[in-house]
Every structure is written in C-alpha cells, then in structure tokens.
C-alpha cells in the first residue's frame, strides 16, 4: 500500500494526471506483491514472515525514494461527480453518490469481485486453491498460476488504496503516510469473512470511525486526540477477536489453506 502511495504520487506529479498516477500506484503494488508471491508460492516460505518483511521493506524503500517528495502536495483536485438522481436521496445520497471517480470504481470493483468469486469458474478456482490445493490440483487447476495471478491482483488493489491516499484523500506525501491502514484492510477481510459484499460494509464502518475522530477533534472535544486516533486500531482488534470466534463456530470464513504452501509430490 505504501509503495503504491509513493509511486502513484510521484507518477501523478510527473504526468500531472491523477488517473495515470493511480495506474502506476496499482502497478507498483502489483510488482511488490510478486516478491511476496515468489517467497510464499515458489519458495514455499512462511507468508507471515514474508508479509512482515515486505511491509518493512515497503516502508524502507518509500522512505528512501520519498525523501525529495516529503510535504509536497498533489495539486490537481479530483472532484466529486454527483450521480444524477441518486445523489439527491436524503442522508445516504451525498454519502454514497456524491463522490469521485475512484470511489465509484470501488463500488464496481466490489460487485465485480463478488460476481467473479461466486458466479464464475475463475472464482471457484480461486476459492478451491485457497481451501484445498491438492483437490484443485487433482481437478486440473493450476495451483501456482492461480495463486500468482490473484496475489498480483491483490497487490494491484493494495497499490490502488495507497495511491488514492496520496493523490486524492490527503493529497500529499509523508513518510509512512499509510499509518498501518493496510493492517486494517487485513482485519477487514477477516471481518467480511472473505466476502466482498460484507467487506464494503466493513469498509464504511472502519472509514466512518476514522473520520469520526476528525469530526470530534474539529468539534473541539475534550477527549485527548491520542485516544481518538486509537479508535480504528482498537476496532480492528475487537473485530478480529469477534470474527475469530464466529468463524470457529461456523464453517465459513477463513480459507482452509490460508498461508499454506503447496507441493504436489509432498505427502
């Protein structure tokens, strides 16, 4: 995410186009994810270690290449485009349908991902490879190819998240600007029990809490800001605890072989 944030920001500034910047941010995220893919799929390393290492690497490399960009702004505004009709719905209209292009893109993406995951052969392959790679392999599904492809895809999306942060949301570059939001995304996936439709609901809840703290601070509350800043992370913890309990008792959620490497001739 942080890699997408920096390289998206740089590309956006150079090309003076938020869209090209966004695209480059995605590709940078995708490229970084290939390191993770190589370690955990080909070398069958431990995903948690690889993931943690990649996070540290991401912070380090962006610190290095971001030196000259610190506190620079991305000056081209990405304006909200109200959706005719829908944006006039009281209360939720302005929230959901008076947004910029990228937010609409995320709506489409959620529906598209849900469709792919649950209605197409590709989606069945993706889920099978994560649940029981041996079974998928025996059915002629290319386990490693599938895992590489979707890891790359995940990298694209993480990069997109980062680029949005520096090109639209902030929009400036600061060292470590993502501030652990990537981890919240991890919690979100657990919260959503690996279903994109739930994920967007969760995203609104997390996002809501995140912005609530700004609103409260702006309103001049007496609660110390450090406590307020803590909210999204506290929520993350609570969500993970709750979701873990729910997942335990039901047969849904966590893919059976989450983080498990696969080798065909191993017993």
Binding site for ligand ADP (CB under 6 A): 265, 267
Question: Cβ closer to another protein: 72 or 127?
Answer: 127
68 binds, among another protein, ligand ADP, none (CB under 5 to 8 A by kind): none
Question: Cβ closer to another protein: 128 or 185?
Answer: 128
Minimum CB separation of residue 257 from ligand ADP in Å reads 18
Minimum CB separation of residue 171 from another protein in Å reads 37
44 binds, among ligand ADP, another protein, none (CB under 5 to 8 A by kind): none
Question: Cβ closer to another protein: 98 or 254?
Answer: 254
Q: How far apart are the first and last CA of the chain?
A: 36
Minimum CB separation of residue 26 from another protein in Å reads 23
251 binds, among another protein, ligand ADP, none (CB under 5 to 8 A by kind): another protein
Burial class (CB in 10 A: 0-12, 13-18, 19+), 187: buried
Contact 162, 2 (CB under 8 A): yes
Question: Cβ closer to ligand ADP: 87 or 132?
Answer: 132
- Can you tell me the distance from the alpha carbon of 156 to that of 47, in angstroms, rounded to the nearest whole number? 18
Minimum CB separation of residue 116 from another protein in Å reads 9
Contact 59, 177 (CB under 8 A): no
Question: Cβ closer to ligand ADP: 121 or 267?
Answer: 267
Contact 23, 160 (CB under 8 A): no
- Can you tell me the distance from the alpha carbon of 2 to that of 179, in angstroms, rounded to the nearest whole number? 9
Minimum CB separation of residue 147 from ligand ADP in Å reads 21
Which residues sit at the interface with another protein, rule CB under 8 A?
119-122, 124-125, 127-128, 131-132, 134-141, 251-252, 255-256, 264-265
- Can you tell me the distance from the alpha carbon of 119 to that of 70, in angstroms, rounded to the nearest whole number? 44
CA distances from 240 to 31, 108, 110, 191, 248 (A): 28, 27, 21, 7, 12
Minimum CB separation of residue 267 from ligand ADP in Å reads 4
* Torsion of the alpha carbons at 168, 20, 68 and 159, rounded to the nearest 10: 70
Q: What three-state secondary structure class fits 183?
A: helix
- Can you tell me the distance from the alpha carbon of 150 to that of 163, in angstroms, rounded to the nearest whole number? 20
Question: Cβ closer to ligand ADP: 100 or 257?
Answer: 257
90 binds, among ligand ADP, another protein, none (CB under 5 to 8 A by kind): none
15 binds, among another protein, ligand ADP, none (CB under 5 to 8 A by kind): none
């Amino acid at each position: 995410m942080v890699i997408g944030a920096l390289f998206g920001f740089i590309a956006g500034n150079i090309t003076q186009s938020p869209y090209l910047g966004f695209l480059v941010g995605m590709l940078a995220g995708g490229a970084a994810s290939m390191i993770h893919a190589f370690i955990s799929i080909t070398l069958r390393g431990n995903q948690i270690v690889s993931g943690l290492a990649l996070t540290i690497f991401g912070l380090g490399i962006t610190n290095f290449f971001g030196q000259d960009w610190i506190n620079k702004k991305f000056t081209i505004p990405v304006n909200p485009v109200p959706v005719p009709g829908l944006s006039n719905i009281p209360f939720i209209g302005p929230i959901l349908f008076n947004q910029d292009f990228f937010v609409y893109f995320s709506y489409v993406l959620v529906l598209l991902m849900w469709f792919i995951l649950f209605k197409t052969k590709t989606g069945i392959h993706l889920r099978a490879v994560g649940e029981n790679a041996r079974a998928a392999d025996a059915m002629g599904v290319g386990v490693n190819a599938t895992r590489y492809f979707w890891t790359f895809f995940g990298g694209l999306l993480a990069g997109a998240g980062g680029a949005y942060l520096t090109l639209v949301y902030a929009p400036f570059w600061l060292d470590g600007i993502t501030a652990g939001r990537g981890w919240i995304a991890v919690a979100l996936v657990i919260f959503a029990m690996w279903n994109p439709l739930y994920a967007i609901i969760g995203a609104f809840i997390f996002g809501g809490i995140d912005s609530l703290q700004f609103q409260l601070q702006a309103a001049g509350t007496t609660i110390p800001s450090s406590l307020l800043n803590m909210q999204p992370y506290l929520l993350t913890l609570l969500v993970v605890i709750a979701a873990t309990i729910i997942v335990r008792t039901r047969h849904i959620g966590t893919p059976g072989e989450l983080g498990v490497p696969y080798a065909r001739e191993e017993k």
